[in-house]
Amino acid sequence: MKNVKDEDVTVFEANKDVYSSSISGIRADGKLFISSEMGGDLDEILLDTDLQKEIVDFYCRVSNTIPETGTQEVNVNMKREFHKYGFKLIESKFYHLGTDKLKVFLKNIYNNSVKIKYIKDGQQYNEKFEKVYIAVGRSGSRLIDTISSKYPELVLQNNTVDLGVRFELPNFVVQELNTMLYEFKVKYQASNGFLVRTFCNNPSGYVVTEKYSNFVTVNGHSFHNKKSSNTNFAILVTHRFTKPFNDPNGYGEYIVKLANILAGGEKVILQTYGDFKKGKRTKKLWNVYPTLDSNEYILGDLNLVLLHKTVKAITEFLDQLENVIPGISNPTHLLYGIEVKFYGKKMDNNLVSNLKFIGDCSGYTRSIVHATAHGILEYLKLKKELN
């Protein structure tokens, strides 16, 4: 932005400070990755891995941070074994900062920004701008809903939400996999047609709750120094809807709120995998000690919350994965719910030339690096126009 620093730039900021950001990947864990196979519809916005690498390098340079790195390059034998049982391994290069290093990282990033005018008080007033860029993330879906309800022609697609659980098990079960891959990501097509995937793997990590304005979900993170004896990752099932229904995020919120109600308020539900398969409430844990604080969950039955089709997709996924990773479907392993990943409506950035939607709220990206890259691509277009 330094090339356009003389331009009048005004930012309307929703949060009181950067640490209040609702971006869970920034606020917790700090995992960045470079990949052409995940993170959004990269072909549609012409986002290549070279630009992704430049962004990660910039983040690390200006934040004075040296992250843990690794390349998820799968050997042929492992890839063949996963393929044999219907799984697709996703390859990427990852950079892990750790939750304990994120505040310094964020502070250094924001102190490096161009001087801009921030407006944080939320007052409504009219003002004209030559160009407007909207970058409110997936948590800003209600603003996007307001805009799209008034101008429905801006929406290209709106039909997806991911719902599932956070799965926790002892490190030793997946130790070999964690050593080779660290960020374990696979996709699987269940027999009922649902796409199931893993997300946000945290070796020696911790399960945490994530509080929104009116509901509580589950997530996971890990620290650079502090370690647990468990690994956790999300198991997410993609739900696609057809017309006339057009509020997948509202549906996702409803499912999460239902879990909160059954948990007695601002808590999540914890269940063993054995009880999850049997459809009965968990009353006692054994063999695996939860890393989530006991004040933030109740023992319960996730079958009362998730659709039967969703439950079947998750159990089929884990039972099939047992063929590749022996011991992963042990009945004592833990499921926390609900975990949800919202998708932004896919917005038309060509309909109004001076109105652009950037990052995850645009529906084209689903990660920190890719959202940042999307913003840079729009900046490069603006720079070309100004010159």
Query: What are the boundaries of each domain within the chain?
Result: 2-73+91-156+345-386, 160-342
Statement: the pTM of the whole predicted model exceeds 0.85: no
CB burial of residue 58 (10 Å; 0-12, 13-18, 19+): middle
More confident call, 265 vs 137: 265
Contacts of 332 (CB under 8 A, 6+ apart): 272, 273, 274, 285, 286, 287, 288
281: tokens are 């409430």
Q: How many CB atoms lie within 10 A of CB 60?
A: 17
| 330 band by pLDDT with thresholds 50, 70 and 90 | very high
369, 83, 236, 95 alpha-carbon torsion, rounded to 10°: -30
Q: Can you name the residues that pair with 119 across neighbouring β-strands?
A: 12
With left for phi above 0 and alpha for psi between -120 and 50, is residue 39 left, alpha or beta?
left
- Please check whether residue 68 is in contact with residue 142, taking contact to mean a CB–CB distance below 8 angstroms: no
Round to whole Å and give the CA distance between 270 and 301: 8
Higher-pLDDT residue of 21 and 217 is: 217
pLDDT above 60 (res 20): no
Ranked by mean pLDDT, the top range of 75-79, 179-183, 245-249, 285-289 is 285-289
Is residue 118's pLDDT more than 70? no
The segment with the largest mean pLDDT, out of 93-97, 142-146, 299-303, 349-353, is 299-303
CATH of region 2-73+91-156+345-386:
3.40.50
65 C-beta neighbours (distance < 10 Å), count: 19
Q: How much is the pLDDT for 2?
A: 44
Look at residue 219 and tell me whether its pLDDT is greater than 70: yes
Q: What is the mean pLDDT of residues 230-253?
A: 94
Asked whether residue 132 carries a pLDDT value surpassing 70, the answer given is: yes
